[in-house]
Structure 1
Amino acid sequence: MKSYFIQYKPFLEFLLKFFLSYIILTLIYQFYLNRFDEKALEVDSITEIVARQTQHTIQFFGYQSENIPHETQNSIKLLVENKFVARVVEGCNAISVIILFIAFIIAFKGTLKKTLFFILLGSVLIYVLNVIRIAVIAIALFHYPEYEHLLHGVVFPLLIYGIVFLLWVIWVTKYSIYGQKE
């Protein structure tokens, strides 16, 4: 049994670091979310910022946009040209995706400086692309509401998770200690 632990030590270390960092970051985020009263329809600050930045991005693309608090849910209604097209909810703020990204980076060894820099740069990139993604989906829903499932169910995973996967590949091959052996 001990020989298996020795043989699979790098893999087991990866799993331990990944799950430990993922759980810690998720608990911190959950602690943050618990500060907001869901029954009073409070929306967390990060989601409010994402909704506001999405509104500005839509306006940048030349459309009139507005955010209105939802009357019956803890979300923000997103309007394009005075037409309600989407709700911005906590899950839209990309924080859980960023947590997943960070946990993977932490799990694959790298120097502290490179790790912190890559986490910061990658998190900002994911956040910015997420705001752009919501804006593009909102504009597309304004023009093509019948494609809501395709736009939200397929475009979202392709954009966000595709970028996260690409960042992981770059980290492992270029910046982690495994990529530096070349």
Structure 2
Amino acid sequence: MKTLLVKYKSVIRFIVTFLAVYGILTIGYNLYLNVSDGSKFYPDYLTNLVSIQTEAIINGLGYDASIAPHPNEPSMKIIINGKYVARVIEGCNAASVIILFLSFLVAFAGKFKTTLLYGLAGSIIIYAFNLIRIVILAVGLYHYPWRREILHTVIFPMLIYGTVFLLWMVWVNRFSKNLKSNE
């Protein structure tokens, strides 16, 4: 058993580090959600911000977009040209995807400054792609409501998880200490 632990030390370290960082960030995010003042920023600050920015982008594309709190659930309704097309829920704010991205990054850490800067830049890229994803979904649902499933189940993974995967590959191949220690 000891020989297996020694042989797979780096794999075990990666898994333990990933799970620890993921657990800590997820618990922290859930604490944030539980103490979030829903009366000022409904349903929470980050989801509210994503909704406002989505509305601004859609309006910038020439549509008449507005957002409104959903009366029956903690979400924001996206309305385009008077038609309710989608809702932005807490899961749409990209926080959980950013937590996943950062957990992998720390588990495959490079130099502290490089890890910090790449984590910040990657989080901003993921957040931006998430806004683009929501805009594409909302406008797509406005024009093609019968394509709801394919828009949500194909566009979302393609943009968000594809972006995260590409960021991870760049990280592992360019900046990670683990790559340099294996050469």
Distance in 2 (CA, whole Å) between partners of 1:2 and 1:74 is 50
AA matched with 2:177? I
Distance in 2 (CA, whole Å) between partners of 1:79 and 1:130 is 18
Name structure 2 gaps, 5 residues minimum: none
AA matched with 2:52? R
AA matched with 1:95? A
- Percentage identity across aligned positions? 46
Kindly state the Cα deviation for residue 160 of structure 1 after the two structures are TM-superposed. 0.1
Deviation by residue 1:119-174 (Cα, 9 ceiling, x = unmatched)? 00000000011011101110110000000000011110111000000000000001
Q: Which residue of 2 aligns with 1:60?
A: 60
Deviation by residue 1:51-101 (Cα, 9 ceiling, x = unmatched)? 000000111111110001111111110011111000100000000000000
Kindly state the Cα deviation for residue 109 of structure 1 after the two structures are TM-superposed. 2.5
Distance in 2 (CA, whole Å) between partners of 1:133 and 1:109 is 28
Matched position secondary structure for 1:34: helix
RMSD: 1.5
Q: Which residue of 2 aligns with 1:152?
A: 152
Kindly state the Cα deviation for residue 37 of structure 1 after the two structures are TM-superposed. 7.2
AA matched with 2:105? I
AA matched with 2:63? Y
Q: Which residue of 1 aligns with 2:178?
A: 178
Residues paired across the two proteins, number: 180
Q: Which residue of 2 aligns with 1:125?
A: 125
Q: Where in structure 1 do 4 or more consecutive aligned residues deviate above 3 Å?
A: 178-182
Is the 1:173–1:180 contact (alpha carbons within 8 Å) kept by the matching residues of 2? no
Is the 1:58–1:136 contact (alpha carbons within 8 Å) kept by the matching residues of 2? no
Q: Which residue of 2 aligns with 1:50?
A: 50
Matched position secondary structure for 1:74: coil
Out of 170-179 and 158-167, give the one that drifted further.
170-179
Kindly state the Cα deviation for residue 33 of structure 1 after the two structures are TM-superposed. 0.5
TM-score, length basis structure 1: 0.95
TM-score, length basis structure 2: 0.94
